[in-house]
Each structure stands twice: as structure tokens, then as C-alpha cells.
Copies of this chain bind each other. A is one copy, B any other.
Amino acid sequence: MAVVALIGTLDTKYQEYSWLVDQLAKHGVGVMCIDVGSFSTSPIADISSDEVLRAAGANPQELRDRRDRGEMMQAMSEGVAVIVRRLADKKTIDALLAVGGSGGSSVAASAMQALPIGFPKLLVSTMASGDVKPYVGEVDTTLMYSVVDVAGINSISTMVLGNAVAAIAAMAKAAKARSVVAPEPQAPLIGITMFGVTTPAADEARKTLTELGYEVLVFHATGTGGRAMEKLVESGLLAGVCDLTTTELADDLVGGVLSAGPQRLEMAGRVGLPQVVSLGALDMVNFGAKETVPEEFLDRNLFVHNPTVTLMRTTETEMAELGRRIAAKLAASTGPTELFIPLRGVSAIDIAGGPFFDESADAQLFAALRTGLADSQVIIHELDQAINDPGFGAAMATALH
């Protein structure tokens, strides 16, 4: 029987969760209740809040005595992520459901983000009609807006939560069925990172890889996109990575809006997946509309891409640091890794006559990479081309094959 894990503050939402348990049973799935209530000792909990806190390495009694809500939420978030990951790995649970306001949603979202893509995860939340990035992250979390506060079972929640229960029970069954049926043979999957200013290179790489018999997934290097790709690498679903557009590292270094965090470009190396890497769009840091660019940057080389996107050229110093960081990440790779350097420019606007053309800055990046990778296993290809010139994307694709 497929099993749905229910995450909730069983102290404050006892009535609602009891109803959910009953309804899930009617849909023919098993239920495992995980209690994340701060002061909860619920009779319907299969995993108590004490167990959740201990999974985060915390001492439940000490934590409760301190009565620090922020610290408690943090420990609950960490603990529940550890627990659901463990249960999912053991195939004890097949899906995750949670219902809550902003606090409960935040704890549940942490658990959902700890699970692989494809594992069904549904969050019914009062927060699901605004900026949901903190809840969804880079995984396939499904969000349902609760419309009214999640408080009591009434005419509205009977419908909204009734739909949620039907949905998660069916998804749990579908996921369990997938896990017991051998999947049809598919072409091996390759992830490619793309940006507007590296599209010609990415298109060429995609075309070449498709001709070579691969299936290609394209990720926009918007922060979420890069993290989503690395999440898939971690899940073991990709056969290789064509990481053509590593621009998110510039946003991480300088403080742009499209950072994928400092760990970007490490996952393929960590799990030993074959990767070809280039330096796409490292000439730029991304901001929103012109008026949102921080004051400290107003005298820099800024380029208004469109009304909601302003690009800032990276400096020599920043490029040298990016070179050191990328070299360190690639040198630590445990799998086959090749670096492709486009000597004549790293984006569509970093070419002779383009607004971001800056040979000295690019030279700093390239030099730091050569130095940092000198004693490594990484193969460096220096091409006397700009990244979007014909042949560059194809060369990366061919090397990955």
C-alpha cells in the first residue's frame, strides 16, 4: 500500500490533521504522521516532535525551555528534512502532504526540498499566492493556495483539503507504481545551462548532443535553474552535464539577483558525473530594473537589457577571483572534467564592439583558471573564438560524448 507522510503542527492543527488522516485512509493509502508542533505530544503522531528535534541534533527539553521560536523552527526544519529523506530512501513513504500558514509552510517546505524530483510533495498553504520561491526552491513541490486560513474543517476547507487529499493519494500510488515497474529505456539525459546571451552556443550543443543520441534538458541560469540542474545531478538522473553558462557564480560573488549560492558548479564533480564546463556570461552580474541597482555600483559599466533587467560588467579583480573559485571547484572533481575557454569573449555582448567587451578582465579570468588547474586532471581547451561562434557549442558536446 502506498503511504503518505503528513507533516504538521499536530498540537495546534489537531482537528484538521485528524480529518486528513481519515480522508487519506478512505482514498486507500497508509498514513504516517510526523509532528512538528513545538510543544506537541499528539496521540496521532507516528513520529513525535521529540524525534524530529533529535534528528536535528537538538536536545528537545533544553530547546523547549529556551522558548526561542526562531531556534525551534530552525531545528524542526532541519530535523524533519533528515527524517523524510531517511523514510523516502527506505521506501517507507511514497508522498508528502502538509497544510499550514507561514510557519508550518516553512518547516514543511524544508522537508520537501530534501526529497528528490519526482517524489510527490504537496503543500496547502495560506502563502501560496505570492512569492513562493522560499517554499518551492528548485524541486517539484506542488503548492495549493488554501484561500482561507487553515483553521477548522468547513465548507471551504472540505473542498480545498478534499482536493488535496485526493491529489496526494493518487500521486503516492502513481509514484509507488513507477518504482515497481521497470522504466522504459530512455536516451541518457544531459543537462545544459543557458542564458539569453549564450543561446547560440547552447542551441548548437543541444543539437549535437541530440544527434549523438542523448536527450537534453535545458536549464535557465537564473539561480533556480542552476540549482535545479544540480539537484537532478544529485538525484542520479543525468548522464552528464554541459555546464556552458556558469554566470550564477558572478552573481554569488558580487551580489546580483540570480545567484545559485556558493556551492554551484560542485555537484557533478562531487558525484563523479562527466562534465564539460565553460564560462558563459561571467562578464555580467544581474540586477532588476535600473533603479534597483545598489548605489555602490552606479558608476560601473551598466547595460539596460530590458525594463526589468540591468546587467553590470564584472571587473578584472572579480574575474580573477571567479577564475580562482571555478578552478578550485573543477580541480576537486572526482569525475571526467573538461574546461572550454572562449578566448574572444564569454557572452553575446562580450565581443569586439560589444558593450561588455573587456579583454583585460577576461584575461584575468583565464589566467587564474590556468594557474588553478595546472596540477589537476582537468583538461583545458582554449578556443580562439567567442562562446557563441559556430563550433564552440559543438566542441563541448562532442567532448562530453
Contacts and interface: CB of A to CB of B under 8 A. Distances in A.
A163 B178 CA distance: 10
A156 interface: yes
A252 to B, nearest CB: 18
Number of copies: 2
B154 A189 contact: yes
A133 interface: yes
Contacts of A361: none
Contacts of A128: 132, 136, 143
Given A156-B232, A170-B170, A173-B166, A140 B147 contact: yes
Contacts of A146: 140
B142 A147 contact: no
B136 A145 contact: yes
B218 A156 contact: no
A120 interface: yes
A159 interface: yes
A140 B166 contact: no
A133 B130 contact: yes
A46 B331 CA distance: 56
A356 interface: no
Nearest to A151: B218
B166 A171 contact: yes
A14 to B, nearest CB: 18
B215 A155 contact: yes
Contacts of A148: 217-219, 228
A103 interface: no
Interface in A273-312: none
Given A140-B146, A159-B178, A167-B170, 6 more contacts: A118-B163, A122-B167, A130-B224, A143-B143, A148-B219, A167-B171
